[in-house]
Structure 1
Amino acid sequence: MGIIIKQSIKGSIWSYVGVIIGFVTTTYLYTEYLTTELVGLFGLLAAYAALTGQLFLLGFQGVTSRLFPYFRDTQNKHNGFLFVAALVFIVGFAVFLAAYYWLKPLLVESNLEKSALFAQYVHLLVPLTFFSMAFIFLDTYNRLLYDAVTGTFFQEFLQRLLLFVLVILFAIQLINLHQLILAFTLVLCLKGLFLFFFLLKRKEISFRPQLNFIDQKLKKEIWSVALYSVLASLGSIFVFNIDKIFINQLLDLSNTGVYTIAFYFGTLVVIPSRPLLKIAGTLVADAWKKNDLSQIKSIYYKSCINQFIIGGFLFLGIWANIDNILIILGEDYLQSKWVIFFVGLGYLFDMATGANGLIISYSKYYKVALYFIVSLILMSVFLLYILIPIWGITGAAIAIASALLLNNLMRFVFLFWKYKLQPFNYKFVVVAVFFTGLYFLLATIPRQELIFDIVIRGVIIVFTSVLFFIFLPISEEVQKLIKKGLQLFNH
């Protein structure tokens, strides 16, 4: 767990510096200088690119996650692994181009009236998909080289910083609307390009073929893993993005924009889990290779309790300040209140169930992960289709939260059934009672002037949480993290 904590801290630092920049960009610049339609366009382009980037890698990111440890050999350029990856990438992008040119007229026609801006810029999906595919694969590859931080730096920090600069340039009228949209696309593409050159500099890029390394057994395993990973790789990416596409199709681009901003706040709770699960996945893969069930049990438990504490802390911070957030966002975003609540709650439960998906994906039952992903996709689509016409964007949030809850319950039951892995104990109840009680305490405090109110509530949450978790033996990792933070503060 030392590697996990160390890289998780580094990744979280970049993530939360990026969150601060993203917070200013999203809550002030987007709402002040961009229309809800333009925000919706940005959200929709990013959503489509994330989905197509995952889908048209043809499952090879799953092959990388599961089978790269068998190729790993720095001296021998990882036995030609990147040559095989490049072939798959070329085929996958060619399939995307064929699908895009076939479906483009339908996309344009279905969006001409309610989402004209998206219909005008739909062609940007081509470069966005290409570089999304590149980043997803290279980030997975780099993570398996025990570096979960660099990809986080490019995606969570640098990308948000560049978007912040772009909107400033637009606000002071140094660039026009068309240039802003093109520049937005370029910024989303750059992280894939930067990561490629980073790995090239580290001499981790080699396309030298070594096909003789891949024997018949390994070839069969690659095909098998790739086949099941095509859908399995969509997972959280699908849930993170499909709601925006449904809202655009069932409502309009303006509602998509409002939801995009609200969704941003709701998913703040899940940001710390990204660097943690990236490196945890690498250790889980190695543990399964050694069939070390005790190590897997330890990773499972610690990922659950630590993520629940951090996620609960952030969810409380957001919900205790929800009225302040709505004031900052303005009247156009008043309907986002319950979107923030349900999205945040759904991802809090997702964090509390820890690395369950990774443990299944890297086990001998990895094919079962496909059924969980398919069920997640089907539940999400069904609930979105049913609830959006009833409750609008709030219905979309309820759909996503419900799908996450049900899917994680199924994973929990499966791991308990097959391996008797059960990470929950009384400490989870203690944490839940603490955060719930603290919320009701904060609810009794009279509202103050905006900034002062945010500061007061924030100070109470931080101070009380630090005292609670540093003195109670809930999590050794969280205690160490708090003590290190206090040491830095004292110096």
Structure 2
Amino acid sequence: MEKKARFKQVFLFTIINYVGILIGIFSTLFIYPENKEFLGIIRYIESISQILFPIMVLGASHALINFYPALNEENKNRLFNYSVFSVGLLSVATFVVLLLASPFFNWGNLQYFYFAFPIAVALAFVELFKRQATNLEKLAVPTLFEKIIPKIALPVVFVLLLHKSSSVNVSIGYYIISYVLMFVLIAAYLFRNYKFRFNFDFKPLYAELSRKEYFRYSLYSFAGSFGSFFAFRIDSLMIPEFLSFDANGTFNIGVTLASALAIPATGVFALYAPIISNYLKTDNLKELNVKYIEVAKMLFCIGALLYSCIFLGIHFLFELLPTYESLAPSIPIILILGFNVLINMATGFNSEIISYSKYYRFNLISIFVLIILNVGLNLFFLKCTDLGIVGVAYSSLISMSIFNAAKLLFIYRTFKLFPFDYGFLKLALLFLFTGVVVYFLPDAPNKLLTLFYKVSLNAAVNVFLIYKLKLVYQVTFWVNKALTWFKR
């Protein structure tokens, strides 16, 4: 029953994320290209909020997942109380520091920090509430609010701006309100399903849980989260400084479309987090390795299927759209970053294994190495080449490949766990062979027909062969279930 409930949460999580990404894709294809400069400003503000909110959380959300399972019920409540209290206090402190420091900075884009602050506060509490929802295995509804509300709000704001119904600053204000609404709805849902009791007596909590270990883990998690921004989101800050907001908009169109590949991984990683933590705490490495291989293979299968379809069809699709001229510069970004996402999916939940083990400090080291790589490569491509945003995409691909390879090597040497087997190699060769064959097939008389037949043929052949060769358990299971249903 517990496994069935978990599967239902994963399924709902994935569906909700795909609904959100479909809204985002529609907006990216038909609305955002009409004003890429405003899109660049919005992504710039969001990137600043990604700097601020880890400071407000200070590792409390990761600590909630890590320490929660081992506590008694009363102390579980106290731990959540403490987490809420610390996020609120740190949010106020962050605002005070921002207010006091701003007169000393003569920077044209400083105003965007004030737009980013309320978004950061909302994100900080949403991050904490989502972690608690994960502990309760009630993640689907918070994910619905988190993924859908901003995805609907941004195109609405764009339409208002395009029709001159609001100014740029007012439009940004409307977008901020959508994050506040998201926070309120997630809080209401969580507290309806969780019997929260105010209790600010934390002495019994730290009698069961080592205060020193809690703060050590929280600070390392914070450093990892804060470092993750510079590793994964620094592009949206650097591009406007070296190029323009318009170039930032073009780059982020590519990021949005490439990120569609990562949705299954996001759901699986979030819902497997407590399971991984439990396996590590009980030293059940054998079962963990089985899950490691199973999940990596499943995610690679999904990611490779989607990426191969994008690779084969993206040019034909864009040429059919009225916004082709604005979208065309994003095609190489989509292909490079899409491959980057595929590599990350193929390596499974390696970050989670490290995060919830006693070796969690390694994540911090690897993140800071990634920061040096990514920032250094970005500076090289932006200042020493004429590749522009394509160079930034290559920077991300190179950095992330090295980052994932380092984590795989560390996990193998430390735990003797490895996500790849012979079946994984056969799966990769199958996708490569099918993609090459379909790519070199002749085009149909028109672009729409070419798009349809190449993408459909690629998907059908891959799924059929994966099923026949029994390369991925989940594919075999669902195809058999579908066949049984059709035979009724």
The alignment's TM-score, normalised by the length of structure 1, stands at: 0.90
Counterpart AA for 1:227: L
Deviates more, 1:460-469 or 1:340-349: 460-469
Q: Does 1:184 align with 2:175?
A: yes
Q: Is the 8 A contact 1:5 1:477 kept in 2?
A: no
| Equivalent position of 1:322 in the other structure | 314
1:301 to 293, 296, 299: 293
Counterpart AA for 1:89: V
Deviates more, 1:202-211 or 1:350-359: 202-211
| Equivalent position of 1:453 in the other structure | 450
- Alignment partner of 2:17: what SS? helix
Counterpart AA for 2:13: G
1:79-94 matches, cutoff 5 A: 79-94=77-92
Identity of aligned residues (%): 21
1:274 to 241, 246, 266: 266
Q: Does 1:213 align with 2:204?
A: yes
| Equivalent position of 2:463 in the other structure | 466
Return the alpha-carbon distance in structure 2 between the equivalents of residues 318 and 101 of structure 1: 45
- Alignment partner of 1:354: what SS? coil
Change in Cα spacing, 1:347 to 1:103, as seen in structure 2 (3 Å) is farther
Return the alpha-carbon distance in structure 2 between the equivalents of residues 59 and 429 of structure 1: 37
Q: Does 1:370 align with 2:372?
A: no
| Equivalent position of 1:479 in the other structure | 476
Change in Cα spacing, 1:400 to 1:488, as seen in structure 2 (3 Å) is farther
Structure 2 unaligned runs (5+)?
A: none
Q: Does 1:382 align with 2:376?
A: yes
1:104-123 matches, cutoff 5 A: 104=102, 109-111=107-109, 121-123=112-114
Q: Is the 8 A contact 2:64 2:80 kept in 1?
A: no
Cα offsets for 1:67-111 (capped at 9, x unmatched): 1223362xx372412221123112321332134235546777244
Cα offsets for 1:289-312 (capped at 9, x unmatched): 222112211221112111111111
Return the alpha-carbon distance in structure 2 between the equivalents of residues 258 and 272 of structure 1: 25
Deviates more, 1:99-108 or 1:177-186: 99-108
Aligned-pair CA distance for 1:54? 2.1
Aligned-pair CA distance for 1:173? 5.7
1:18 to 8, 17, 20: 20
| Equivalent position of 2:398 in the other structure | 402
Return the alpha-carbon distance in structure 1 between the equivalents of residues 43 and 480 of structure 2: 38
Change in Cα spacing, 1:447 to 1:41, as seen in structure 2 (3 Å) is farther
Cα offsets for 1:111-151 (capped at 9, x unmatched): 4xxxxxxx655421121111011111111221122233233
Q: Is the 8 A contact 1:388 1:394 kept in 2?
A: no
Counterpart AA for 1:456: Y
Counterpart AA for 2:12: K
Q: Does 1:125 align with 2:116?
A: yes
Counterpart AA for 2:205: I
Q: Is the 8 A contact 2:316 2:451 kept in 1?
A: yes
Structure 1 unaligned runs (5+)?
A: 112-118
Return the alpha-carbon distance in structure 2 between the equivalents of residues 110 and 178 of structure 1: 15
Q: Is the 8 A contact 1:299 1:355 kept in 2?
A: no
- Alignment partner of 1:271: what SS? helix
Return the alpha-carbon distance in structure 2 between the equivalents of residues 26 and 158 of structure 1: 16
- Alignment partner of 1:272: what SS? helix
Change in Cα spacing, 1:428 to 1:97, as seen in structure 2 (3 Å) is same
| Equivalent position of 1:426 in the other structure | 422
| Equivalent position of 2:432 in the other structure | 436
Aligned-pair CA distance for 1:342? 1.5
| Equivalent position of 2:250 in the other structure | 258
- Alignment partner of 1:147: what SS? coil
Return the alpha-carbon distance in structure 2 between the equivalents of residues 204 and 277 of structure 1: 26
Aligned-pair CA distance for 1:375? 1.6
Return the alpha-carbon distance in structure 1 between the equivalents of residues 77 and 327 of structure 2: 53
Please tell me the root mean square deviation across aligned C-alpha atoms, in Å.
Answer: 2.5
| Equivalent position of 1:347 in the other structure | 341
The alignment's TM-score, normalised by the length of structure 2, stands at: 0.91
Change in Cα spacing, 1:93 to 1:120, as seen in structure 2 (3 Å) is closer
When the two structures are aligned, how many residues end up with a matched partner?
Answer: 480
Change in Cα spacing, 1:280 to 1:38, as seen in structure 2 (3 Å) is same
